[in-house]
Amino acid sequence: MDFPHTFLLFCTVLIFYNLGLIWFAQIVIYPLFGKVGSEEYITYHQFYSSHIPLPVIIPGFASFLLPLVLIFVHPEAIPLWLVVANSGCALVSLFVTVALAIPRHNRLERNGKQEDVIQELIRYNWPRTLAITGSAVLTLMMVTLAFSPV
């Protein structure tokens, strides 16, 4: 198997891992933020933040950036528009993470429980959840095209 096919498979695994994470965060983790008591909230969020780099942050940012590499390194059977559309989903996810999610997490960790900020986090996470879902669908289409018999 050549490098473009191998790289596509690596990206596929990473993107589908991230797909599971984002839906779990949207449906379970972020709503649970509102169930934590005010007095223990900062400690809770600090624990959360200190434990997510390896399982969440590193694979998340990798799944936002690696689709951009696919623009230059993709199997020939995949049309460029499909790779660019996938990269667009990744860029939306990256933007929501950097511009909307991280500042709200910082506010929660610094100022403690704030229901309005938790609701914003949940609401603003929907575009990221949908973009990652779109990326997974587009990636599955790319894998199907790349590995279809000629």
Q: Are 104 and 120 in contact (CB under 8 A)?
A: yes
Q: What is the pLDDT of residue 112?
A: 98
Q: What is the pLDDT of residue 10?
A: 98
Which residue, among 32, 54, 57, has the nearest Cα to 108 in the 3D structure?
32
Instruction: Give, for all 150 residues of the chain, the pLDDT tens digit.
Output: 999 999 999 999 999 999 999 999 999 999 999 999 999 999 999 999 999 999 999 999 999 999 999 999 999 999 999 999 999 999 999 999 999 999 999 999 999 999 999 999 999 999 999 999 999 999 999 999 999 997
The residue whose two tokens read 């506010």 is 107
Q: What is the pLDDT of residue 150?
A: 76
Q: Tally the C-alpha atoms within 13 A of residue 99's C-alpha that lie toward its C-beta.
A: 9
CATH of 3-146, one of 1.20.120, 2.60.120, 1.10.3300, 1.10.3470: 1.20.120
Domain boundaries, the chain: 3-146
pTM comes to 0.96
DSSP string, 44-101: HHHHHHHHSIIIIIHHHHHHHHHHHHHTTS--TTS-HHHHHHHHHHHHHHHHIIIIII
